[in-house]
């Protein structure tokens, strides 16, 4: 054929692909965009400071790179004995601007006494946007008698008369004595309540208080579902459980001061909920 002498025609299969060649030359589609992790706010416990949470901060940075983590540096050391409602006001002023900048929501990790501060924040902040409230070894149902901390503060006061001190005007000046009070109103705005604690804590008494359990009149521990505040759904526990929004993560072998530095605990009970 004129003009085709010496020309080698491409195989038929390649000829069939020619109409699709422009598509094959297009650049690869970009990977789906992942939403950024929600900010994490950490509230410390009695006699703690932000330095105590350096390991937790390291774990979050490793598993959730780019997460904005704020360990609130308020009421450190002895200042953590200030009345709880004074602390709630102070911590509330600190978390409000963080929440305002995070319309997608935030996570709260609150350790020991800090768990009570955060639980109060959930009630007094009308428009809070807490996705996960992670209560880390916190006496959510109260503290019974004399722990090591209480013996240090009240060396001559034992289980039989401690309540008399805590209900006096002088006793109410200490945060520990405020553990016996509870008032909540916006609790159900929280997306998820994660309760963490264990039998080897050594401070929270009974340790089941971390899961809203407590003693009855015979000093037998009643679990959350047997407590009047649950049965009456006083501040929303029964409702949260019904909608599957309560996660209980008990773990043995961890002492009270090690909850925020134990890597296994973090990976098992905290990291899964930091969306």
pTM: 0.77
Q: Which residue has the higher pLDDT, 145 or 245?
A: 245
Would you call the peptide bond into 251 cis, given omega within 30 degrees of 0 as the criterion?
no
Check 146, 201, 210, 260 and give the catalytic one: 201
The pair of three-digit structure tokens given for residue 211, joined into one six-digit string: 């899961």
To which H or E segment does residue 231 belong?
A: helix 228-231
> Is there a catalytic annotation at residue 112?
yes
Indicate whether 27 pLDDT > 90: no
Buried b (16+ CB within 10 A) or exposed e, 66-102: ebebbbbebbeeeebbbebbebbebbbeebeeebeeb
User: For the stretch 129-155, what's the b/e string if a residue is b when 16 or more beta carbons lie within 10 angstroms of its beta carbon?
Assistant: bbbbbbbbbbbbbbbbbbbebbeebbe
Q: Would the pLDDT of 17 be above 60?
A: no
Calculate mean pLDDT across residues 41-60: 94
59-113 confidence digits (pLDDT tens): 999 999 999 999 999 998 899 889 888 999 999 999 999 999 999 999 999 999 9
256 as an active site residue: the answer is yes
pLDDT in tens, 177-195: 554 345 656 889 999 999 9
The per-residue pLDDT for 49 is 85
Is 33 an annotated catalytic residue? no
From 44, 107, 128, 256, active-site residue: 256
CA atoms within 13 A on the CB side of 181: 15
Q: What is the mean pLDDT of the chain?
A: 83
Q: What local confidence, expressed as pLDDT, does residue 220 receive?
A: 95
CA of 91: how far to CAs of 96, 187, 248, in Å?
9, 17, 25
Q: In 3D, which of 73, 162, 83, 147 has the Cα closest to residue 117?
A: 83
Q: Assess whether pLDDT exceeds 50 at residue 160.
A: no
- For residue range 114-156, what is the model confidence (pLDDT) as tens digits? 999 999 899 889 889 999 999 999 999 987 654 555 555 445 5
Q: DSSP string of 88-117?
A: HHHHHHHHHHHHHT-TT-EEEEEETHHHHH
What integer pLDDT is reported at residue 181 of this predicted model? 41
Query: Out of 80, 112, 132, 137, which one is annotated catalytic?
Result: 112
Residue 251 in this model has a pLDDT that exceeds 80: yes
Q: Which domains does the chain have, with CATH numbers?
A: 40-141+160-273 (3.40.50.1820)
Select from 215, 208, 275 the least CA-distant residue to 63.
Answer: 275
């Amino acid at each position: 054929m004129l003009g085709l002498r010496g020309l080698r025609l491409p195989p038929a299969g390649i000829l069939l692909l020619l109409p699709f060649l422009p598509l094959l030359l297009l650049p690869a589609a970009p990977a789906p965009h992942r939403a950024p992790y929600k900010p994490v706010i950490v509230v410390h416990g009695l006699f703690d400071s932000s330095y105590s949470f350096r390991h937790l901060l390291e774990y979050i940075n490793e598993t959730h790179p780019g997460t904005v983590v704020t360990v609130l540096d308020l009421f450190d050391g002895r200042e953590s004995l200030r009345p709880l409602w004074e602390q709630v006001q102070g911590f509330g002023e600190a978390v409000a601007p963080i929440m305002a900048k995070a319309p997608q929501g935030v996570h709260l990790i609150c350790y020991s006494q800090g768990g009570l501060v955060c639980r109060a924040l959930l009630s007094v902040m009308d428009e809070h946007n807490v996705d996960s409230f992670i209560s880390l070894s916190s006496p959510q149902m109260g503290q019974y008698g004399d722990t090591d901390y209480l013996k240090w503060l009240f060396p001559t006061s034992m289980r039989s008369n401690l309540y008399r001190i805590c209900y006096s005007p002088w006793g109410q000046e200490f945060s520990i004595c405020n553990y016996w009070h509870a008032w909540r109103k916006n609790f159900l705005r929280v997306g998820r309540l994660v309760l963490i604690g264990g039998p080897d804590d050594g401070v929270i008494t009974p340790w089941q208080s971390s899961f809203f359990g407590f003693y009855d009149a015979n000093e037998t521990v009643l679990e959350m579902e047997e407590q009047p505040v649950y049965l009456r759904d006083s501040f929303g526990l029964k409702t949260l459980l019904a909608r599957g929004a309560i996660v209980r993560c008990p773990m043995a072998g961890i002492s009270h001061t090690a909850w925020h530095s134990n890597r296994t605990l973090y990976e098992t009970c905290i990291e899964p909920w930091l969306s």
